[in-house]
Structure 1
Amino acid sequence: MMRRRRLYLFATIVSMMHIILLAPMRCLALSPDGLSLLAFKAAVSDDPSSSLAGWSEDDDDPCRWPGISCANVTGSAFPRVVGIAVSGKNLSGYIPSELGTLLYLRRLNLHGNRLSGPIPAQLFNASSLHSLFLYDNRLSGPFPAAACDVPRLQNLDLSRNALAGPLPPALRGCRQLQRLILAGNRLSGVIPTGIWPEMAGLVQLDLSSNAFEGPIPPDLGELDSLGGTLNLSHNHFSGGIPSTLGNLPSTVSLDLRYNNLTGEIPGVGTLANQGPTAFLNNPGLCGFPLLIPCEVRAVPAPEVSGAGRGAVAAGGSGTGTDEATAGERGRGMRTGLIVLISVADAAGVALVGLVVVCAYWKVKDKDKGCAKLGRRSEKGEPGRWRRCGWCGAAGAEKGEGGFSSSDDEEEGGGAEGEMVSMDKGFKVDLEELLRASAYVLGKGGKGIVYKVVVGDGSAVAVRRLGDGESVGGGGRYKEFAAEVRAMGRVRHPNLVKLRAYYWAPDEKLLITDFISNGNLAAALRGRSGQPSLTWSVRLRIARGVARGLAHLHDCSPRKFVHGDLKPSNILLDADFNPHISDFGLLRLLSLTSTSTSAAANASSTSTGLGLLGAALPSSAKSSHIDLPNPYRAPEIRAAVATRPAQKSDVYSFGVVLLEMLTGKPPEMSSPSPSTSSGEQVVGLVKWVAKGFDEARPLTEMVDPVLLHEVHAKKEVVAAFYVALACTDTDPEARPRMKTVSENLDRIAK
C-alpha cells in the first residue's frame, strides 16, 4: 500500500513537471517572423475591417495569416516571411521598427491606410527589401535616407503622405532604384546636384505636388533609362529650363506645369518634341510650343565718345536739335511705311475675297444644273449620273467611268447622285459595283457592311451609311464631301484606305479596301484551327497600331481623333499586319441622317469588321458619351470631357495593349464573397496596376500562351510599362502616341 502511494506521488510530480516545462514551449511556438508581425498588429490602434483579426499568437506559423506570403529559405528550419500586403484597410497606427527584423522580406505593401508618424530607419534593416509601397497614408517626418542602404531596393512609392524637409544627398546611394514616386508630400528645398547620374536604372520619377524650389537640376538629363513621364509639376522651381533635359530619351514626356520657370524653352532634343501642356502655368516661359513670343531685347545705342561729347558742347543745342529732328523724321518715315503696307494688305485681301465670291457663285450655278441632271436620271434616264459626275469639273477628260478624282472635287465638282473616286487607281464604277456579288459582313448602328467581289476577282468593303433618309439640302452634302475628302487624304500602311464614296438622297456608300483576316478581337479569342497569337506577332500588331494612331494624330490633314479604338476596329491582313478602321465615321453619320440616333448608337454596336471611322462629332449627344465602353478613357465615360481627344485615344490603346499582354477582357469577373453572386467586375487596368504595386509574379498576369517564349520576358515587362503609362487616370500624364510608338519600337532592339 505504501509502495503504491509512492508510485502515485511520483507520477503526479512527473505530470506537473511536464506541464510546467511544456507551457513556455507552447508560448514560444510562434516563429520570430510571427512575433515581428504581432508587433505590427500591436502598433495598429484601429482596424475597422478586422483585417488583422486572423493574426493569432496561438498559431505556430504566420504563413497562413491574411496578407502574408512565405517562402522556404535555404538554411532555415521554417518558412520565412517574404511579403506583407495589407493595403486599403483604413488601418490607424504607426509602422513599428520590429518589421526591420524580417530579414527575408521582399515586398511591403501598406498603401491606402491611415498610418501616421515617421518611417523608422530600422525598417530598412530588412536587407532583402526590393519593393516598398507606403503611399496614401499620413506618414510624416523627413525622407528616410536609410532606404538607400538597402542594396536591392527597386520600387519606392511614398506618394500622398505628409513627408517634409529636403531630399538628402544620401539619395544618390539608391543606385538600384527603378521607380521613385514622392508626389503629393510637403518636401521642400533645393534638390542637391550629383544625385541623378548615380541612378542609372531609374525608369520612373515623380516629384510633383511638393514645395521644391530653386533651379531644375541639369543632371536630370543624364537619366538614360527614364521612360513615361518625368513629372516635376506643381512645385516652386524657378529659373530657366536646362537644355540638358533635351538629352532625355525620346520616349519621355515632360510635365513642368505650375512652377515659376522663366525664359525661352530650349528647342533641342526631347524638349522640342513636347506639347504645350508640358509647360503651362509658368508665366515667365515663352517660345515654342507655347503661343507666347519671347520679347526681343532692344540693342543699346552706342555711347558717344568723349570727342563727340565735346563737339556737342561746342556746337551748343543746335546740333542736338538737328539730331532729334532727324530721329523724328526717321520715325515718321517708318510709320508711313507701316501704314502703306497695311493699306496694300487690305486691298490684297479684298481682291482675293472678291475672286473667291465670284468663283463660289459660278460653281453654285453649275451645281444647280448638275442637280437637275441628277433628278432626271431618277426618272429613268440611265447613264445621266455619269455626265453629272463631270459637271463642273476642270475637264471631261479627267473623269473615268463616271468618277471624278479628288482633285476634280476640290475644283468644284461633286453633285448629288454621283460616285467619287478618292484614288485614281480605283477603276470600278457604280454599275459594276451593284452588279457584283456581295456578302453581308455585319449590321449595326453604323450601317450594313458588305464584302463585294468585283469583275477582276478583287474584293472591296462597302458600307451603307445611315438609315436611307434624305437630309434634303446641298449644303449638307458639301460638308459630307469635305469630310470624306479629308479622310481620303489620310494614307498610312496601318490605316484602312478609303477608295471612293457615293452620295444620293436615299443612298450613301463608302468603299474601302477589304482586309481579309478578320479583326484583333477574334484573333485574341482564338479561332478554330488556328494557334493563338505569339508574342512576336502581338508586338508587331501593337507597333503597327501605335504607328497608325500616331500618324492619325500628328500627320493627317485634320489631326484626326479616332474616338472608338478597340480590338474589333483593328483589322488584320494575311500576315497579321494591323489596319485601323472606323475613324471619322460618326461625323459622317451625323451628316447623312436626320436623326442623331445612328451616331448615338454607332459606338455601342460593332459589326465585327469596321471600315472608316468613329471619331465623335462635336455635336454628339451626351447619351452617346455615357454609353458603357471599357476601352473609353475615364474622363469620357464620366462625361468630364465632352468629346474624345488624342489623349483618350492613348488610353484606349493602353487598354488594347493590356488585353494583348494578359489575354483577359477589359472587364472581367473575380471571386467576391461580398456579393450575392459571388463575383465582382474588375477593370483590367486596375487589376494590372494593383499587380505591379504588389510586385506579383509576372506569371500571374501575363497570357499563359506567352509563358512558353521565355526569351520575351523583358520585352513583355517593358510593354506592360508602356500600357500602364497610357492608362494613367490623368490625361495630361499620358504620353503622346508618337512617344508610345517610339517606346514600342525600342523594345527588342
Structure 2
Amino acid sequence: MSFVFRLCPCLNKRFKANAASDSSNPQAANDVVDTFDLFFDLHSLQLATNFFSELNQLGHGGFGPVYKGLMPNGQEVAVKKLAVESRQGNREFTNEVKLLLRIQHKNLVTLYGCCAEGPEKMLVYEYLPNKSLDHFLFDKRKSPSLDWATRFKIVTGVARGLLYLHEEAPIRIIHRDIKASNVLLDEKLNAKISDFGLARLFPADDTHMQTFKISGTHGYMAPEYAMRGYLSVKTDVFSYGILVLEIVSGRKNHDRLLGEEADLLNHAWKLYQAGKIMDLIDPSLGKYNGDEAAMCIQLGLLCCQASISDRPDMNAVHLMLSSDSFTLPRPSKPGIQGRVGRWTTTSSSAFTHTNATSATKASVGSSIIDDFSRNSISTSSFDEGR
C-alpha cells in the first residue's frame, strides 16, 4: 500500500490535467474519466487478458511478460506484468510510473495506469498493434514492409521523442536504453519510445552526472558511460546513432555476417572512410531517397563519435533531419563497441552482463568522403534500387 500512497499525488495531478484539458467538451470529459481511471484492479486485468493467457502474450522483457488486453469499454491495452521474483523490476516499475505520469508526447508510449495489489504490479499502456521495431527490421520476411519513407519517419520520430525528453519535458530525462526493441510502432508505423524503467531524471540545469550503477544494453551504450559511468544526454545520442545505422542497414548492431568484428558501427565507419557508405543500405529496400539515406548514415556516425563534445545534441539532430539545406560536418572516429546484451553493473570496472564480449576498437583515419547535405546527391542515381 505504501507504493500506492507514494503515487497518489502524481496520479491525481495527471487526472486533473487531462480532465481540465477537455473540460469544454462534456463527452470528452467523460472519456477522460473512463480512460484515465489510473488505478486498475487486478480482477479487471485478469478478465481483459483472459487471465494472462499465453495466447494474449505479446512479448517478454527484463521487466516481465506483456499481454494484450481488451477492457469492458472495448479499449485495447497492453499490460506489462512485473515478474514477482524480479527485484530490479520492482524499482523499474516505480520509476516508470513516476516518469510517464509527468510526460506526454506523440512519440512516447502512453501510460494509462497501473495495478498494485499484493505482490502483483502491472503497467497498463496504449496497445500498439505493430509491436516493436525489431520485429520488422531484423526479420527478412517483414523488413520489406518498412520502405524508405517509413524508415525515415521512424528515424525522425525517435529524434523528436528524445528531443522532448532532453529539452522540452518538465524535467530533463535520460532514457538510457534506446534500442530497436524499445521503439514501438502504432497502426501507421509511427515510432513511440517505450520502456522507461532505466530512465534517470536530471534536476534543474544539470547536464551530466557520474554513476557507479551502469544499466542498459551493451552494444548501444556510449563508451564513456559503459567504462566510466559518465551519464549525459549524449549517452542517449550515442544509442540513437546506433539505432539509425540499424534502421538504414537492416542489420543488428552485432551481426556475424559482417565478419570477425561483427560490429555494425565499425563496419559503417570503414565504408565511410572508403567512400562506400551507400553499400551499408539494406538491399531489401528497393527504391529509396539517396540523399536522405546518405545523410542518415553520416548522422548516425556523428552521434557515435568517441568524443562526447563532438556528438550533436538532439536539437541539432532534429535540425539536421528537418532541414533541406543543412550540411553535416565530417564525423570523427566512433566510440568502442561490443556485443549486444542487456546488463547492469555496480562499479565502473566490474561488468555483469549477458552475451557480451570484449569491445573492438574502431578504425582510425581521416575521412576521404565528401560531406553530405540532403541536396548534395542526385536522387535519381539511387531511386532505382540495387
TM over 0.5: yes
1:440 is matched with 57
What is the alpha-carbon distance in structure 1 between the residues aligned to residue 114 and residue 277 of structure 2? 51
Answer whether contact 1:468 1:506 (CA < 8 A) is retained: no
* Secondary structure class of the residue paired with 1:441: strand
Offset from partner CA, 1:234-259 (integer Å, 9 cap, x none): xxxxxxxxxxxxxxxxxxxxxxxxxx
2:232 is matched with 645
What is the alpha-carbon distance in structure 1 between the residues aligned to residue 94 and residue 256 of structure 2? 45
**CA-CA distance at 1:652 after TM superposition:** 0.8
Answer whether contact 2:176 2:199 (CA < 8 A) is retained: no
Answer whether contact 1:532 1:705 (CA < 8 A) is retained: no
Q: How many aligned residue pairs are there?
A: 294
Q: Does 1:563 align with 2:176?
A: yes
* Secondary structure class of the residue paired with 2:115: strand
Q: Does 1:736 align with 2:313?
A: yes
Q: Does 1:465 align with 2:82?
A: yes
Answer whether contact 1:670 1:681 (CA < 8 A) is retained: no
What amino acid maps onto 1:682 in structure 2? Answer: A
Answer whether contact 2:148 2:285 (CA < 8 A) is retained: yes
Q: Does 1:688 align with 2:264?
A: no
What is the alpha-carbon distance in structure 2 between the residues aligned to residue 481 and residue 657 of structure 1? 30
What is the alpha-carbon distance in structure 2 between the residues aligned to residue 425 and residue 696 of structure 1? 54
1:205 is matched with none
Q: How does 1:151-166 map to 2 (within 5 A)?
A: none
Do the aligned partners of residues 407 and 718 (structure 1) sit closer, same or farther apart at CA in structure 2, a change above 3 Å counting? closer
2:225 is matched with 636
1:716 to 293, 297, 305: 293
Offset from partner CA, 1:434-468 (integer Å, 9 cap, x none): 32234222234212211111113321111122535
Answer whether contact 2:147 2:285 (CA < 8 A) is retained: yes
1:745 is matched with 322
| Rg larger in structure | 1
What amino acid maps onto 2:302 in structure 1? Answer: A
What is the alpha-carbon distance in structure 1 between the residues aligned to residue 122 and residue 277 of structure 2? 50
Do the aligned partners of residues 488 and 620 (structure 1) sit closer, same or farther apart at CA in structure 2, a change above 3 Å counting? farther
Q: Does 1:701 align with 2:318?
A: no
Provide the TM-score with structure 1 as the length reference.
0.35
* Secondary structure class of the residue paired with 1:499: strand
What is the alpha-carbon distance in structure 2 between the residues aligned to residue 483 and residue 569 of structure 1? 13
What is the alpha-carbon distance in structure 2 between the residues aligned to residue 498 and residue 541 of structure 1? 21
Do the aligned partners of residues 701 and 435 (structure 1) sit closer, same or farther apart at CA in structure 2, a change above 3 Å counting? closer
Do the aligned partners of residues 541 and 469 (structure 1) sit closer, same or farther apart at CA in structure 2, a change above 3 Å counting? closer
Q: Does 1:661 align with 2:238?
A: no
What is the alpha-carbon distance in structure 2 between the residues aligned to residue 621 and residue 561 of structure 1? 14
Do the aligned partners of residues 409 and 483 (structure 1) sit closer, same or farther apart at CA in structure 2, a change above 3 Å counting? farther
Q: How does 1:326-725 map to 2 (within 5 A)?
A: 405-406=12-13, 424-426=33-35, 429-430=40-41, 431-436=43-48, 437=50, 438=52, 439-467=56-84, 484-526=97-139, 528=141, 531-583=144-196, 585-586=197-198, 621-622=213-214, 624=215, 629-637=218-226, 639-642=227-230, 644-669=231-256, 679-696=259-276, 698=278, 700-709=279-288, 712-725=289-302
What amino acid maps onto 1:743 in structure 2? Answer: M
Offset from partner CA, 1:293-350 (integer Å, 9 cap, x none): xxxxxxxxxxxxxxxxxxxxxxxxxxxxxxxxxxxxxxxxxxxxxxxxxxxxxxxxxx
**CA-CA distance at 1:554 after TM superposition:** 1.1
**CA-CA distance at 1:570 after TM superposition:** 0.6
**CA-CA distance at 1:618 after TM superposition:** 8.6
What is the alpha-carbon distance in structure 2 between the residues aligned to residue 548 and residue 407 of structure 1? 20
What is the alpha-carbon distance in structure 1 between the residues aligned to residue 11 and residue 233 of structure 2? 33
Q: How does 1:291-330 map to 2 (within 5 A)?
A: none
What amino acid maps onto 2:320 in structure 1? Answer: N
Offset from partner CA, 1:486-516 (integer Å, 9 cap, x none): 4212111010011112234412211111111
Do the aligned partners of residues 529 and 490 (structure 1) sit closer, same or farther apart at CA in structure 2, a change above 3 Å counting? closer
Answer whether contact 2:108 2:161 (CA < 8 A) is retained: yes
Answer whether contact 1:569 1:582 (CA < 8 A) is retained: yes
**CA-CA distance at 1:670 after TM superposition:** 5.5
Provide the TM-score with structure 2 as the length reference.
0.66
* Secondary structure class of the residue paired with 2:255: strand
The structure whose RCO (Cα within 8 Å, separation 6+) is larger is 2
- Give the % identical residues: 29
Two-structure CA RMSD over aligned residues (Å): 3.7
Answer whether contact 1:498 1:510 (CA < 8 A) is retained: yes
Offset from partner CA, 1:123-179 (integer Å, 9 cap, x none): xxxxxxxxxxxxxxxxxxxxxxxxxxxxxxxxxxxxxxxxxxxxxxxxxxxxxxxxx
1:727 is matched with 304
What amino acid maps onto 1:405 in structure 2? Answer: N
Do the aligned partners of residues 406 and 462 (structure 1) sit closer, same or farther apart at CA in structure 2, a change above 3 Å counting? farther
Q: Which runs of 5+ in 1 are unaligned?
A: 1-369, 375-387, 395-402, 411-422, 589-616, 672-678
